[in-house]
Amino acid sequence: MTVSINAAFDSGNIEVVDATDPQNIRLRIRQDAHSDFYQWFHFRVAGAKNIPLRLVIENAGGAAFKGGWEDYKTCMSEDREDWLRVPTSFSGDELVIEHTPALDSVYYAYFAPYTMERHRDLIADALSHDGVSLSVLGQTLDGRDMDCLSIGEGDKTVWVIARQHPGESMAEWWMEGFVARLTDPEDDVAVEMRKKVRFRIVPNMNPDGSFRGHLRTNAAGANLNREWDTPTMDNSPEVVLVRDAMDADKPVLCLDVHGDEALPYNFIAGAEGIPGYTQKQADNLAAFLTAYKAASADFQTEVGYPETAPGKGNPSMCTNQTAARYNCLAMTLEMPFKDNANAPDEARGWSGDRCAQLGSDTLDAMAAVIDQL
Ligand SMILES: [Zn+2]
């Protein structure tokens, strides 16, 4: 009776060092290609029904965000739909997962995975609704299509992009809820917004990194959210293609959706650090934040990143680049890997369903400010 561990699938990541002793299974997370970043893991354990497992990730202490392992619980699923949290501890060096599978096939992941197959389902489902079109902006380094949905006939353009950092799978769960709401013919807010706005939506900015099981980079090892000032087709075609499309269809609002490894809250980072940040941009951000808090009990403004000092904003990040380039309201949304500490869920932590609900609720916040943009 041997326990088998494998990650050779869409969005998988683990290396097996030694799986002979179920009470001391030794694992390592593989680095992103051409990069030192790693933290995303997603693997299957087979043949361990009713066997108590102690899975040790040996190189957790060297991961990109060590603080991400504190008070963290691993996601586990047997049916690949419902992801539950299982007991996990961090020694400072090693991450230890303790769980007894009830079935002969069980999956463990850093967060509920959002595979490229599910991405295809998201696109297909969106296109089944009236008034939704797909543009392929070009191809990635691994030859995957950069999918961009267009929804709505309005004069104003809103860009929404997600998952520049592919290990932040919560960003595409968010997209699923956002797109579902926006395409709902029975939803009054969505109907009104589609009249006022042309939405350009990139549900997955980093298909190669997503498939490869990367945390933070594309196939060339580029951190896409540090490429927006000088992207190149050799290193960061994803950003070149999307930024060119934005130049041709300039946003009044640009939202870039992410996840944060350490902070157990949903929050927004603005573009206050860019040179020439305007009062109008500040007022629009304040109005959006107020509306977002009203729209979602899971969104808050108490905890987040420290504000960037005036003029110190990094122009290689999407939010700063787009705020400066288009003089628009540009924001980065961060969601937790762990849980929302203000409304914890012991069983699931922050989950795909809650991401989708937050995505859906975001449309109310956009509706509240669209006329002033
Ligand atoms: Zn990110």
Q: Which of 59, 54, 44 is nearest to 11 (CA)?
A: 44
Dihedral (C-alpha) 118, 122, 124, 127: value to the nearest 10 degrees?
-170
60, 98 Cβ separation under 8 angstroms: no
Residue 164 alpha carbon to ligand 1 centre in Å: 6
Are 309 and 164 found together in one domain? yes
Q: Which of 182, 310, 334 is nearest to 255 (CA)?
A: 334
Are 141 and 255 found together in one domain? yes
CATH number where 141 lies:
3.40.630.10
> What does DSSP say about strands 156-162 and 145-151: parallel, antiparallel, or unpaired?
unpaired
Last residue of a domain, one of 109, 138, 153: 109
Instruction: Give the pLDDT confidence score for residue 2 in this predicted structure.
Output: 83
Residue 162 alpha carbon to ligand 1 centre in Å: 9
Average pLDDT on 11-16 reads 98
Tokens of 218: 């594309």
Are 252 and 273 found together in one domain? yes
Are 96 and 122 found together in one domain? no
CATH number where 11 lies:
2.60.40.3120
209 Ramachandran zone, left/alpha/beta (phi>0; psi -120 to 50): alpha
Are 178 and 297 found together in one domain? yes
Last residue of a domain, one of 109, 139, 159: 109
Say whether 224 sits in a helix, a strand or coil. helix
Are 11 and 138 found together in one domain? no
Last residue of a domain, one of 79, 109, 139: 109
Using one digit for the tens of pLDDT, what is the confidence trace for 180-224?
999 999 999 999 999 999 999 999 999 999 999 999 999 999 999
Residue 355 alpha carbon to ligand 1 centre in Å: 15
Q: What are phi and psi of 324, to 5 degrees?
A: -75, -40
Residue 221 alpha carbon to ligand 1 centre in Å: 15
Tokens of 257: 């959706």
Q: pLDDT at residue 98 above 90? A: yes
Are 120 and 250 found together in one domain? yes
Average pLDDT on 148-152 reads 98
Are 13 and 142 found together in one domain? no
Cα gap 373→366, rounded to integer Å: 10
Are 213 and 236 found together in one domain? yes
Using one digit for the tens of pLDDT, what is the confidence trace for 300-325?
999 999 999 999 999 999 999 999 99
Are 159 and 24 found together in one domain? no
Q: Which of 139, 135, 144 is nearest to 199 (CA)?
A: 135
Residue 260 alpha carbon to ligand 1 centre in Å: 6
Non-local (6+) Cβ contacts of 19 within 8 A are 2, 3, 4, 5, 25, 26
Using one digit for the tens of pLDDT, what is the confidence trace for 130-139?
999 999 999 9
Range of the domain at 41: 4-109
Q: Is 334 a catalytic residue?
A: yes
**Largest distance between two CA atoms of the chain:** 67
Q: How confident is the model at residue 327 (pLDDT cuts 50, 70, 90)?
A: very high
Tokens of 337: 């890997």
Say whether 27 sits in a helix, a strand or coil. strand
Q: pLDDT at residue 162 above 80? A: yes
Using one digit for the tens of pLDDT, what is the confidence trace for 223-270?
999 999 999 999 999 999 999 999 999 999 999 999 999 999 999 999
Are 34 and 178 found together in one domain? no
Residue 48 alpha carbon to ligand 1 centre in Å: 34
Catalytic residue among 261, 272, 334, 346: 334
- The 53-57 sheet, strands edge to edge: 15-18, 25-28, 53-57, 95-99, 88-90
Are 74 and 146 found together in one domain? no
Give the chain's domain count.
Answer: 2
Residue 222 alpha carbon to ligand 1 centre in Å: 13
